[in-house]
Chain A
Amino acid sequence: MQKKALIVGIDGVPFGLITRMMEQGHMKELKHMCEGDYTIHKMHASYPDISSVSWTSFMTGANPAEHGIYGFTDLKPNSYDLYFPNSRDIKAPTFWQTLQKQKKIKRVLVLNIPNTYPAFPIDGLLVSGFVAIDFNKAVYPTSYVAPLQRMGYVIDVDLMKARQDKDGFYQDLMDSLAVREKVSINLITEEEWDIATICITETDRLHHFFFDKKDTPVFHDFYKRVDTFIGNIYRAFEKKYGKDFLFLVLSDHGFTEQVAEVNLNALLRDSGYLVTDESRDYYDKIEKGTIAFAMDPGRIYIHYEKKFPRGQVKSSETEQIKKALKAVFLELADTNGTKVIKEVVDKEEIYKGPYYDNAPDLICISNEGYDLKGNLRRKEVFSSDIFKGMHTGEDATLITPKNITFDQQVTIENPPNIIMNYFL
């Protein structure tokens, strides 16, 4: 008999928070599951802990040096030209592509996973998630465009609304959950899938703008709704294929309350490591004399002469520069004297693969609440905006069948291997 799998993504849901929501009775469905055939693990996100990177690691089972995605933004080779990596830049095969090639599975549903835009060929249906722009390019095959539109499907809520009308924005998130659930159930019920992968991204949006309300009904009601969503699609799948299928729930990173935004380029500028020409745009501002610069969130790039047009750093200087930069980052404290950066990770420790050269040289990991930023606009090191939450890397969530155990720390690259092993 053909094996089946249902995978549910819950973008940005932290292990600590979801565990508490279950204990407090706001997530009855998941609680029931985790008391029965399933178990919950704390999982480590990708480096950096950004949705596009982490979800790509989930889809490919690979680290960024193998799949090539290091963030929502990157620079074109040997230039300061900003580009937005998307599905076309993913260099490693996805788990369903591998399984389909080996004829282990047929039709696959991939709904709303970030960094799948533009939609790419699949035997089944792929509907792109964030950052999808044109709906016609977000659906493969395109014959689904009209039916999805008729069902009122939306890729994402209007994020700008959070600035003007927070109550309306919250309601939009609830509505968006409802339509995503309706479409998911419709697709599961009406069509045949060997693997259905459905991602809920409303949680991440809620967290960005409402994380200060994590212990209030704002969150409780929302998590109840997410719990119902998961329970309903689980039952729809069970009704169709029986009890015996692989079921996973996972998030791509955790979240915590934001204390301040920390502009790493302002710090580098103040410390003499970054020189900019303000008459130019974005990263083209980087001038001769720059030793290093940052990109979102904590990616640090050394300004090597062989990698950047105006770079002057020689590779022989690497060790000395890394040491000096680490000292600058680790010393940074806010006005209360609280240290901002917990750890500076070297690329050598975390990345391995053919796209290693494109990797940031260092990754800064902040203490909870300090949201690291890599823009070149802000002149001050500490700033604030309307955001209440920030991503964390150590406490993503993974729910698996009970019989699956890990002898090492669980990372976002593990779930695709669980899926592969199940079908092989």
Chain B
Amino acid sequence: MDHLDALENKSIYIIREAYYRFKNIAMLWSVGKDSTTLLWLIRKAFFGKIPFPIIHIDTSYKFPDMYEFRDRLAREWNFPLIVGRNEEKLAAGMSPSSGMKLECCTELKTNALKQVIDKYKFKAIFLGIRRDEHGIRAKERYFSPRDDQFQWNYENQPAEIWDQYKSYLDKEEHYRVHPILHFTELDIWKYIQREKLPIIHLYLAKEGKRYRSIGCVPCCSPIESSATTIEDMINEVAASKTSERAGRAQDKENIYTMQKLRALGYM
């Protein structure tokens, strides 16, 4: 079997398995290349008709192109879209430029998602993360349990060998399901090319710069690049030695430390 077909088959197997297990499931779509690829795979898994909602967490600081892309695809692919926003914190002026970069993500992304999960009582969420993105993501499972505080106990998770997945839940838990965990950045671009998937053109170079990873405007920086087509990009990624998320600013342990210090009136 072709390499990309093998990757696709594995993903579709996990998507169907998870839907069969949980029913009350949704997918988190960042509008980026990875979760758009996942969205495409989910469409394929259910023959074009996605049987559960797609969640987009809107921090209000995304690139304008991302909103345009989101709404266009939701129309064309015809799936139910839930837009989650932490309205309370947005009204209070939370933004990465108010000198609160470290809390901003927690409030506008993590807590906004918590609110959506609480409201709709989802037992599982599909995410388009990949093992090669980041050191900590290499420890992820396809079926990854989270407790009610969203905590992930990565040192004590069930093994996943010979395609056996643990998907039994304790009361207070929910699952994150990662059907494209085994794709690499390069696989994603090759797959996008083969399937002719739509992508946001922020990924393609304009005036010598392009975004390798996209999120909120203030927290993403472009890399030097002359890749104006997906073909160029595949060559560039294959030759790259820096990390994909190098242009993104945040570190979990620092975020928590900052929160604890702020809670006692420091910073």
A interface list, Cβ under 8 A from B: 72-73, 84, 130-131, 133-134, 136, 156, 159-160, 162-163, 205, 208, 261, 278-279, 281-282, 285, 296, 371, 373, 375-377, 385, 387
Is A376 in contact with B263, judged by CB distance below 8 angstroms? no
For A133, give its contact among B155, B256, B265 (CB under 8 Å). B256
Does B97 belong to the interface (CB within 8 Å)? yes
Is B97 in contact with A72, judged by CB distance below 8 angstroms? no
Does B254 belong to the interface (CB within 8 Å)? yes
Is A387 in contact with B265, judged by CB distance below 8 angstroms? yes
Is A296 in contact with B253, judged by CB distance below 8 angstroms? no
Is A371 in contact with B99, judged by CB distance below 8 angstroms? no
Which residues of the other chain, A, contact B155 by a CB distance below 8 angstroms? 136
Which residues of the other chain, A, contact B96 by a CB distance below 8 angstroms? 281
Is A72 in contact with B99, judged by CB distance below 8 angstroms? no
- Whether A279 contacts B97 in the complex (CB less than 8 A), given A208-B265, A387-B265, comes out as yes
Closest 8 A/B residue pairs (Cβ)? A159-B263, A84-B257, A133-B256, A377-B99, A387-B265, A296-B266, A131-B260, A131-B257
How many Å lie between the Cα of A377 and that of B260 in the bound state? Answer: 17
Q: Mind listing 21 A-B residue pairs with CB under 8 Å?
A: A73-B266, A84-B258, A131-B257, A131-B260, A131-B261, A133-B257, A156-B260, A159-B260, A159-B263, A160-B259, A160-B263, A162-B263, A163-B263, A261-B265, A278-B97, A281-B96, A281-B97, A371-B265, A376-B99, A377-B98, A385-B265
Which residues of the other chain, A, contact B258 by a CB distance below 8 angstroms? 84
Does B190 belong to the interface (CB within 8 Å)? no
In this complex, the interface size class of chain B, counting residues with CB under 8 Å from chain A, is: 20 to 34
Chief secondary structure at chain A's binding surface: loop
For B264, give its contact among A133, A159, A278, A282 (CB under 8 Å). A159
For A375, give its contact among B260, B264, B267 (CB under 8 Å). B267
How many Å lie between the Cα of A72 and that of B266 in the bound state? Answer: 8
Does B43 belong to the interface (CB within 8 Å)? no
For the complex formed, measure the closest distance between the CB of B261 and the CB atoms of chain A, giving whole angstroms: 5
For the complex formed, measure the closest distance between the CB of B121 and the CB atoms of chain A, giving whole angstroms: 23
Interface residues of B in 63-114 (CB under 8 A from A): 96-101
Which residues of the other chain, B, contact A84 by a CB distance below 8 angstroms? 254, 257-258, 261
- Whether A208 contacts B264 in the complex (CB less than 8 A), given A84-B254, A134-B253, A136-B155, comes out as yes
How many Å lie between the Cα of A156 and that of B260 in the bound state? Answer: 10
Is A285 in contact with B267, judged by CB distance below 8 angstroms? no
For the complex formed, measure the closest distance between the CB of B168 and the CB atoms of chain A, giving whole angstroms: 22
How many Å lie between the Cα of A160 and that of B263 in the bound state? Answer: 6
B interface list, Cβ under 8 A from A: 96-101, 155, 253-254, 256-261, 263-267
- Whether A282 contacts B99 in the complex (CB less than 8 A), given A84-B257, A136-B155, comes out as yes
For the complex formed, measure the closest distance between the CB of A266 and the CB atoms of chain B, giving whole angstroms: 13
How many Å lie between the Cα of A13 and that of B84 in the bound state? Answer: 45
Is A130 in contact with B99, judged by CB distance below 8 angstroms? no
Extra A-B contacts (9), CB below 8 Å, given A208-B264, A282-B99, A371-B265: A84-B254, A84-B257, A131-B261, A133-B253, A133-B256, A156-B260, A296-B266, A376-B99, A377-B98
Which residues of the other chain, B, contact A371 by a CB distance below 8 angstroms? 265
Which residues of the other chain, B, contact A162 by a CB distance below 8 angstroms? 263
Which residues of the other chain, B, contact A281 by a CB distance below 8 angstroms? 96-97, 99, 101
How many Å lie between the Cα of A377 and that of B101 in the bound state? Answer: 12
Which residues of the other chain, A, contact B99 by a CB distance below 8 angstroms? 278, 281-282, 285, 376-377
Residue of B nearest to A117 (CB): B257
For the complex formed, measure the closest distance between the CB of B246 and the CB atoms of chain A, giving whole angstroms: 16
Which residues of the other chain, A, contact B100 by a CB distance below 8 angstroms? 377
For the complex formed, measure the closest distance between the CB of A265 and the CB atoms of chain B, giving whole angstroms: 11
Which residues of the other chain, B, contact A377 by a CB distance below 8 angstroms? 98-100
Which residues of the other chain, B, contact A130 by a CB distance below 8 angstroms? 260
Residue of B nearest to A86 (CB): B257
Is A73 in contact with B261, judged by CB distance below 8 angstroms? yes
For A73, give its contact among B256, B263, B267 (CB under 8 Å). B267
Which residues of the other chain, A, contact B253 by a CB distance below 8 angstroms? 133-134
For the complex formed, measure the closest distance between the CB of A387 and the CB atoms of chain B, giving whole angstroms: 5
How many Å lie between the Cα of A274 and that of B100 in the bound state? Answer: 20
For the complex formed, measure the closest distance between the CB of A51 and the CB atoms of chain B, giving whole angstroms: 9
For the complex formed, measure the closest distance between the CB of A331 and the CB atoms of chain B, giving whole angstroms: 25
How many Å lie between the Cα of A278 and that of B254 in the bound state? Answer: 21
How many Å lie between the Cα of A371 and that of B98 in the bound state? Answer: 23
Which residues of the other chain, B, contact A285 by a CB distance below 8 angstroms? 99
Residue of A nearest to B258 (CB): A84
Residue of B nearest to A50 (CB): B266
For A296, give its contact among B257, B259, B263, B267 (CB under 8 Å). B267
How many Å lie between the Cα of A28 and that of B154 in the bound state? Answer: 46
How many Å lie between the Cα of A285 and that of B97 in the bound state? Answer: 11
Interface centre among B155, B258, B259, B263 (most CB of A within 10 A): B263
Which residues of the other chain, B, contact A133 by a CB distance below 8 angstroms? 253, 256-257, 260
How many Å lie between the Cα of A282 and that of B266 in the bound state? Answer: 13
For the complex formed, measure the closest distance between the CB of A143 and the CB atoms of chain B, giving whole angstroms: 13
Which residues of the other chain, B, contact A156 by a CB distance below 8 angstroms? 260
For the complex formed, measure the closest distance between the CB of B202 and the CB atoms of chain A, giving whole angstroms: 21
How many Å lie between the Cα of A163 and that of B92 in the bound state? Answer: 16
Which residues of the other chain, B, contact A134 by a CB distance below 8 angstroms? 253
Which residues of the other chain, A, contact B259 by a CB distance below 8 angstroms? 160
Residue of A nearest to B249 (CB): A281
How many Å lie between the Cα of A371 and that of B265 in the bound state? Answer: 10
How many Å lie between the Cα of A373 and that of B260 in the bound state? Answer: 16
Residue of B nearest to A297 (CB): B266
How many Å lie between the Cα of A279 and that of B96 in the bound state? Answer: 10
Residue of A nearest to B97 (CB): A279
Residue of B nearest to A161 (CB): B263
For the complex formed, measure the closest distance between the CB of B105 and the CB atoms of chain A, giving whole angstroms: 13
Interface centre among B98, B257, B265, B267 (most CB of A within 10 A): B265
Residue of B nearest to A71 (CB): B266
Interface centre among A134, A136, A261, A281 (most CB of B within 10 A): A281
Residue of A nearest to B254 (CB): A84
For the complex formed, measure the closest distance between the CB of B102 and the CB atoms of chain A, giving whole angstroms: 9
Residue of A nearest to B264 (CB): A208
Which residues of the other chain, B, contact A208 by a CB distance below 8 angstroms? 264-265
How many Å lie between the Cα of A159 and that of B261 in the bound state? Answer: 9
